């Protein structure tokens, strides 16, 4: 059983930065990818970014490309999301997700789907004031 714990959320002014962290523990052998999703009130949970451990490929939501950077330390079982130039529309609960099964067929569209992931964190709130 993999446990994911997010940290780093908070309140920031528009244009500011935050860095989210997600630490994975418990049976993470063979972990394929770790990513971030977000959910704003009244909206569906949406994909934000993912890093695939083998090869280090990353994918991003179009609206965060160039502002957000996902990175990870496989040895520490930790993934980070550096968020710069934050906008009020980035405000949401941010969730860490992990896929532990190999996925040789997975493309960017697969990693953008919630169904691709096996484990989820509890979420961390990001609030952006205008």
Alpha carbon distance 119, 22 (integer Å):
12
User: Cα separation of 48 and 70, whole Å?
Assistant: 9
Q: What is the DSSP string of 16-78?
A: --EEEEEEEESS-TT--EEEEEEE-TTS--EEEEEEETTT--EEE-GGGBTTEEEEEEGGGTE
With a cut of 90, say whether residue 6 has pLDDT above it: yes
Q: What is the pLDDT of residues 69-117, one digit of tens each?
A: 999 988 888 999 999 999 999 999 999 999 998 888 898 999 999 999 9
What are the helix and strand counts (H, E) for the chain? 1, 11
């Amino acid at each position: 059983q993999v446990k994911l714990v997010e940290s780093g959320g908070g309140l920031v002014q528009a244009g500011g930065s935050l860095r989210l962290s997600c630490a994975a523990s418990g049976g993470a052998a063979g972990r394929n990818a770790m990513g971030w999703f977000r959910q704003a009130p009244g909206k569906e949970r949406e994909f934000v970014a993912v890093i695939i451990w083998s090869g280090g490929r990353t994918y991003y939501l179009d609206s965060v490309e160039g502002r957000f950077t996902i990175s990870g330390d496989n040895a520490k079982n930790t993934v980070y999301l550096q968020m710069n130039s934050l906008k009020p529309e980035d405000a949401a609960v941010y969730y860490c997700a992990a896929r532990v099964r190999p996925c040789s067929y997975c493309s960017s569209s697969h990693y953008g789907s919630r169904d691709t992931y096996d484990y989820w964190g509890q979420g961390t709130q990001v609030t952006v004031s205008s």
